Each structure stands twice: as C-alpha cells, then as structure tokens.
Amino acid sequence: MRFALGLHTVRDKLATTMSEIEIAYAGSPLSSGPHAGDRWAPKQYDGPPPGSGAEPRFVLHTDDGEAGAALAARFPSLLEPAPRKPDAHYRLLIVRPDGYIGFASVDAAWSEAAHYLQRLAPTHA
C-alpha cells in the first residue's frame, strides 16, 4: 500500500475521487444539452461561484445580454439577474447552483432554455 500511494498517478486518482470533482450527472432530469451534467470549471465562472450569495440561483451565460436579462426577469427566483459571458463552446448555458451544467446549447436556443427553467419552476411564466 505504501508503494502504491507513493505513485503520482495513484495519489492524483485518490485526490479526485475524494474531492468528487469527476462526478457528472448527464442522465439527470436536471441536465439538458451537450455536456449538461458536467462540472463547470471554476476558471469559466466569470464572477463568483454559482450558488454563492444569500439565495443560491442558477447562472445564465450568454453573449446576448438583452435576451439573457429578459429570461432572468421571467425566472427571478431561479436565475441570477445579470447574465455572464459564456466560453467559446456555448452560446447559451445555465449553470446550476452546485456548479454543474444544467442546460447547454451551441446556438441561441432561448425557447428550449425557457422550457428547461419552466420544468424546474412551473409556477413561473
């Protein structure tokens, strides 16, 4: 055991297993779109971590600030009010408060994003 724990590869695998950073939720009902359910890397947050603050909310990433603000206004109890910038792979992305991708789209799929949020909060418009 001492020999195995001395190997760099074994220590790295043990660290990622114990920290649970390799967990993904692709099959979850909270995941929709390419790479949904994957962990959103901290270097891509473009602000404070998702879920931080007094009321944890989903974080919307888009390069269309006007449409993003309109969607956030429709779901104020779910989404942070100000959209953040996405990375180069997505045009529309919703990150859950736990830091995992909930909804992802490579195009501006606003109706699909609204439907995703509607499933989570059916009492909203």
Q: Which CATH code for domain 23-120?
A: 3.40.30
Task: Decide: pTM greater than 0.85.
Answer: no
Packed helices 110-120 and 65-74: angle between N→C axes, nearest 10 degrees: 20
Residue 44 confidence (pLDDT): 87
User: Token pair of 88, please?
Assistant: 């180069």
Q: What residue ranges do the domains of the chain occupy?
A: 23-120
The model's pLDDT over 58-77, given as tens digits with 9 standing for 90+, comes to 999 998 999 999 999 999 99
Beta bridge partners of 100: 39
For residue 14, what pLDDT band results from cuts at 50, 70 and 90?
A: low
Write out pLDDT tens, residues 80-114. 999 999 877 778 999 999 899 999 988 879 999 99
pLDDT for the residue 90: 76
The confidence band for 122, taking pLDDT boundaries of 50, 70 and 90, is: low
Give the residues across from 105 on adjacent strands: 92
